[in-house]
Amino acid sequence: MWLVLGDGETWPKTLEAVEDERVVWSSLWQDRPDDRIVLAIRPDGDGSLLELTWLAASPLPGHASPYRYRLNQLLAQELRWSYGQ
């Protein structure tokens, strides 16, 4: 399984799914339960492009770097490694 949760993280729920277009997840973080993560999928030649949009329901305390880093780690690293790239 590619999604291994860290401290303070929770398994996201699928809030919306439109086949071949997008998936909307609930927040990964227990301290930010109203955030949403949108994964948009677009055709690109023989493959697909995945676009991530993080919708923060409230201002982030300080800076967002740890959250952004974690999303990047999960989607740009762990997910890709799970299918051999």
For the chain, the domains span 14-82
Other C-beta atoms closer than 10 Å to the C-beta of 32 total 18
Amino acid identity of residue 35, one-letter, is: D
Q: How far apart are CA 13 and CA 3, in angstroms?
A: 13
What confidence tens digit (pLDDT) does each residue in 7-21 have? 889 999 999 999 989
Q: Are 31 and 58 in contact (CB under 8 A)?
A: no
Alpha carbon distance 57, 5 (integer Å)? 21
Contact 32, 57 (CB under 8 A): yes
How does pLDDT run across 51-60, given as a tens digit for each residue?
A: 889 898 888 7
Say which residue, 5 or 10, is predicted with more confidence: 10
Q: Nearest CA to 29 among 65, 80, 71?
A: 71
